[in-house]
A and B are shown apart, each in its own frame.
Chain A
Amino acid sequence: ELKVEQNPLFLSMQEGKNYTIYCNYSTTSDRLYWYRQDPGKSLESLFVLLSNGAVKQEGRLMASLDTKARLSTLHITAAVHDLSATYFCAVDIAGNQFYFGTGTSLTVIP
């Protein structure tokens, strides 16, 4: 059974600090996606990682993919309150068949 595990599940961090969210998955895949979800809202695409060693950056967020370790990371630099949300990683195993991680609920405290 495919497993996509994220840790931590909950993250409370102070503004200005750095932190990393981890996403481990149990099957071979070179397509990994990160999404953001605000309370009561739908999913917003953040990053698409399509090969081993891929690194993408947007603002204070940077995502990377290590397909050999079956690990993706989402690094947050100098957090600000606007980054408070739930972050999901998703692995695509068969073309538009996404398996999502458990999500990481991030709260940035002033």
Chain B
Amino acid sequence: KAGVTQTPRYLIKTRGQQVTLSCSPISGHRSVSWYQQTPGQGLQFLFEYFSETQRNKGNFPGRFSGRQFSNSRSEMNVSTLELGDSALYLCASSSNVETQYFGPGTRLLVL
């Protein structure tokens, strides 16, 4: 089975711009979660989607949003980028509560 894929792998944006990141889960997995990883804050939960519905949301501002499509692929969007949004964004997929499988991540640099 192919693993979780994320595109793009690297991204450079400037402050004020917006960005869309994409995640394709493992085939058959209906749950997709997003996490932000930074040296200062560590790994933080953004949100989780299941069958196109957001089930859980972390403590992030409304500039961070996401969606999930009928094929379980997910996108997250960050609008009005700030320098502090520079991070590794990780997507994870799961078929149940056993575990989550993480993708390689998208490294975002905001200048």
Contacts and interface: CB of A to CB of B under 8 A. Distances in A.
Interface of A: 31, 33, 35, 41-45, 48, 50, 88, 90, 92, 94-103
* Interface size, B (range): 20 to 34
Interface string B53-75: 00110100000000000000000
Interface in B10-66: 31, 33, 35, 42-45, 48, 50, 55-56, 58
| Dominant SS among interface residues on chain B | strand
Q: Which 3 A-B pairs have the closest CB atoms?
A: A100-B43, A43-B102, A97-B56
A23 B71 CA distance: 36
B56 A96 contact: yes
Contacts, number: 61
Contacts of A88: 43
A42 B9 CA distance: 12
B97 A96 contact: yes
A98 B45 contact: yes
A95 B33 CA distance: 10
Contacts of B97: 31, 50, 92, 95-96
